[in-house]
Amino acid sequence: MTEGVAAPAAPTRREDLLERLARGGTWDLAVVGGGATGLGVALDAASRGLDVVLLESHDFAKGTSSRATKLVHGGVRYLAQGDIGLVREALHERTTLLRNAPHLAQPLPFVLPAYKLWELPYYGAGLVMYDALAGIAGLGRTEFLGRGKTLAALPTARPEGLKGGIRYWDGQFDDARLALALARTAAAQGALVVNYCEVTQLLHEGGRVAGLSARDAESGREFTVRARCVVNATGVWVDTLRQQDGKAIGRTVQGMVAPSQGVHVVVDRAFLPGQHALMVPKTADGRVLFAVPWLGKLILGTTDTPRDDLPREPRPFRQELEFILGESARYLVRAPGQGDIRSAWVGLRPLVRPVRNGDEPTKSLSREHTVLVSRSGLVTVTGGKWTTYRAMAEDVLERCYEAHLLPRGASGVTASLPLVGAPHRREAATPLSAPPGPHLYGTEADQVASLPGDRRDLGGGLTAAMVRFAARHEYARTVEDVLARRFRLLFLDARMAGDLAPEVGALLREETGLDPQVAAFRELAASYMQCAGV
């Protein structure tokens, strides 16, 4: 292929995917879960030449993986906790991600405003160390800013009592589109990835996991999938399969996930214009607060609240919204109120409980993520964060090799594997702080533009051609798939997303012949607006 010329996007015809799933035979690896972790495992395994199938019960990145703070970062707070190894790994992976998907992940300057003199040397020393740990993987030099330069970078920061600031660099990304790029890149490497296909049962033979049963959500068609190795990468829901596995082999399984939720609020960029993000390292209750420019809006967050249930669409608690708006008022001249919220979303985080060695042989590969292999051979991975998805995938496959579930293959392949849409040459990229548009498709932008409706703007930058591309090449089946994850309008302006649902639905029905679930999406969009009193 000539350098600089993008390969045409492969079609994702549902009937072809299901026909391939029904062929039988034995796969090397079956991955359950289509979030960042599962997709990363599927891509890594497929790039090593393994036969891989991945099944997701809903849409790719439907859960936590589309609800991140949109930061690709080393984790400044882990540095304060002394976890040097974790920070160094995340900083290395940050650079790898930005290099392999520059259209979806880019550097972003942050400013930490200091209102007390001691904050400048205290936080500055930590951020200088952060740079040192990054080494040649650094994105920019940490700088101490005077009061004037701090206000130039953060024009709407509260000036009273401001002593100065510290500018440092991390990254930001479009999480749902990155997950989609992982899925499509894995498919290009030979993996079969199928959304809306729920795993209903693990298959056991002789006390060992031998595959799984699955059901297509659209047709109800059932499949038996045999595999030499099964990886449970279902995030906060991993205990469901683990308990099923334990019951099959007569063992009691200890739950390993203690879920926590993080709330994010979206407001207009007028509350913090410019190209810098704001970071508050310690809020009134000790948490970190970010104000991040993203896709034409401003994200405020995040919280960290334990919860016992595992809803697919968690909603913010009132006290969480009050906390975010209240903390914003301490740092911004004009702080947003409840009526200024354009959308609010919640992500469930799979915080890992310690698991007794007597229950299952445990190999915890970092404080952030954990990999377990049960007595039956079921491999479970949970915890971690988006930035280190690739390193987590390598850890999972290494554990599979150690347990003799897969043949050992060459590692590190994905470190230099560009994701679908990545430019072949370094170009001046449109910043992710800009409103969404064709630039998010990278080298596929011309192919999107070639479809009918390229000049038909539905609203918010979404064109009819983008909807058709989502249906033909990006596994989209419903209005929610398009307006929440292929094009992030639900997360940017829930009211507009609800208004556009009927027109998007008509296009999808034309493309797929299916019910696009317009009414269900409009109800969902309304719930994203309720917190704003709209």
In 3D space, the residue among 165, 162, 182 whose CA is nearest the CA of residue 173 turns out to be 182
Give the relative orientation of helices 119-134 and 84-100 as an angle to the nearest 10 degrees: 60
Q: Which residues contact 125 (CB under 8 A, 6 or more apart)?
A: none
Q: Which residues contact 157 (CB under 8 A, 6 or more apart)?
A: 113, 150, 151, 278, 331, 332, 333
Token pair for residue 43?
């891509």
Predicted confidence at residue 503, as pLDDT, reads 98
Q: Rounding to the nearest 10 degrees, give the CA dihedral for residues 270, 273, 276, 278.
A: -40
Determine contact, residues 301/290, Cβ cutoff 8 Å.
Answer: yes
pLDDT along the chain (534 residues), means of 10: 57 95 96 98 97 98 94 80 80 95 96 96 92 89 97 97 97 97 98 98 96 97 98 95 92 86 95 96 83 98 86 90 94 94 92 61 52 96 93 96 92 94 78 96 96 97 98 98 98 98 98 97 92 47
Which pTM does this prediction carry?
0.94
Predicted confidence at residue 461, as pLDDT, reads 97
Predicted confidence at residue 356, as pLDDT, reads 57
How many other C-beta atoms lie within 10 A of the C-beta of residue 206?
6
Helix (H) or strand (E) holding 448: helix 445-449
**How many CA atoms lie within 13 Å of 383's alpha carbon, on the beta-carbon side?**
22
DSSP label of 99: H
